[in-house]
Each structure stands twice: as C-alpha cells, then as structure tokens.
Structure 1
Amino acid sequence: MAEIVSPLPGVFYTTPGPDKPPFVSPGDTVEAGQAVGLVEVMKQFTEIKSDVSGTVASVDSESGATVVPGTVLVTVDEG
C-alpha cells in the first residue's frame, strides 16, 4: 500500500470544482502522475498527484478538510 500525503498545509479538495465528479474514488485505477486531489493555500491550488500506479484503496481525507504536511490523503494498492 502506498500513501499519498499532503506536501503542504491547506484545505484538501477531492473534486476539481463544485458539482464536478471526484478526482478518484475507492476502486478506481490510477496511474503515476495522475491527479488525486487539490490542496488550496491562500487561493493557490496545488494538484496532488499519485507517485504510483494501482487501485485506490481509500480516500482518507474528506473534501474541505484542513490538512498539514504528511496528512494521508489517498491510499493506493500498488500493482
């Protein structure tokens, strides 16, 4: 299992915008480099990308949650 963590403090978003589908959901296949969410800091949005390919095991942080560096956002089952 690989944990995708927040590299910076801010607010985590699971969707690219209101009324948009989530970047990933449990059971989805992800590729290395694929966006799995956004972290917003002072109106600046940073895409959070997967470092590994595999299947999303869980989305560990809720959309709108405040995160700090190291907070687990998404867990991926590699393979």
Structure 2
Amino acid sequence: LVKQENTEESIEQKEVLTGNVINSPLVGTVYLAPEEGAKPFVQVGDTVKKGQVVAIVEAMKLMNEIESEFDGVVTKVLVENEQTVEYGQPLFEVE
C-alpha cells in the first residue's frame, strides 16, 4: 500500500508559475533580509538584475547568497523569512 499525503505544502507547490523561477540551490534556512529587522532584499514589484542578491540560504552555519538568474520584476515571493527550504524549491517568480 502506498499512502499519498496531501499536505498544504505539497498543494502549494502545485501552484502554476508562469514567469522565470529562482530556485534554492541547497537545503537550508532562507533569509529574505540581510539581518533581523532590516528591509528585505527584494519584494513583489521590485525590479531585479541578473546577479543581484535576492536572499540568503544558511546551510551548516554558512551564509550562501542567492542571486537572481534573470532581469525582470519580482511577481511572487514563494517562501517566508526563516523558512526551511529544500534543494530546488522555488523561492521567487520573476517576469
């Protein structure tokens, strides 16, 4: 018997993304701002350039800057600050 789970998270992952997606390159904790209480790196509606830092993922006490792979406008932020993310998990949608 194979038990199929429909958790909120797996249902959210099925959301259709029409733009370019910035994915997490590793497993860790995502930080959307450079430090606690600071303004987020990017928000919905912000224009980003290729190579611009959009978040940080902490893995094994190392802070890894996540850069945009695209030029465009952030249309969706798909994670919350300090959320645990998986390898390949979508973080942002850019159109």
Structure 2 length as normaliser, TM-score?
Answer: 0.79
What residue is the counterpart of 1:56 in the other structure?
74
The structure with more strand, counted as a fraction of residues: 1
The structure that has the greater radius of gyration is: 2
How many residues are treated as equivalent by the alignment?
A: 77
Q: Distance in 2 between matches of 1:72 and 1:62?
A: 12
What residue is the counterpart of 1:9 in the other structure?
27
Structure 1 consecutive aligned stretches of length 4 or more whose deviation exceeds 2 Å: none
RMSD: 0.5
Residues 41-73 of structure 1, C-alpha deviations (whole Å, 9 max, x = no match) = 121000000000000001101111101111101
1:1-79 alignment runs, 5 A limit: 1-77=19-95
Structure 1 length as normaliser, TM-score?
Answer: 0.95
Q: Distance in 1 between matches of 2:85 and 2:79?
A: 8
Q: Distance in 1 between matches of 2:29 and 2:90?
A: 13
Point out which structure has higher relative CO (alpha carbons under 8 A, 6+ apart).
Answer: 1
The structure with more helix, counted as a fraction of residues: 2
Q: Could you say what secondary structure the match of 2:43 adopts? A: coil
Q: Could you say what secondary structure the match of 1:37 adopts? A: strand
Percent identity between matched residues is: 43
Structure 1: where are the runs of 5+ without partners? none
Q: Distance in 2 between matches of 1:28 and 1:45?
A: 23
Structure 2: where are the runs of 5+ without partners? 1-18
